[in-house]
Amino acid sequence: MTRATHEEERDNAAGIFEGAASESIRISPRQLSEMLEDRDPPVVLYVRTRSQYEHDRSRIPGAVRIAPDEVDGWVREREEKLGSKVEGPRIVAYCT
């Protein structure tokens, strides 16, 4: 079976999130579950390639699927709506 390579998978997505991966705050599935129960739950982003997203059918209810090469645009659009980089709900990116 031949697998097509989507355009978003050809790009080097390493620069999407600023800073080294070791600087990212990592949380467990249990922590995310607890955060989603909060009065002010985070926005959950699926930041996975199309093939990863289609292959793994498990979903977090209410999560937003963003292709890796579209994250910058999503962030800019969100900042324009909110008028600030600081305001708004927390964001949890799920990319594995």
- pLDDT tens figures, 30-71: 999 999 999 999 999 988 888 888 888 888 888 999 988 888
What pLDDT score was predicted for residue 39? Answer: 92
Structural domains of the chain, count: 1
What pLDDT score was predicted for residue 13? Answer: 46
Within-domain flag for 2: no
**Structural domain boundaries enclosing 53:** 28-94
Assess whether pLDDT exceeds 60 at residue 81.
Answer: yes
Within-domain flag for 49: yes
Provide, rounded to the nearest whole percent, the portion of the chain with pLDDT above 90: 20
**Residues 51 and 1: beta-carbon distance below 8 Å:** no
Within-domain flag for 82: yes
The rounded distance, in Å, linking the Cα atoms of 67 and 39 is 28
- Please give the distance of CA 41 from its chain centroid, rounded to a whole number: 15
Within-domain flag for 78: yes
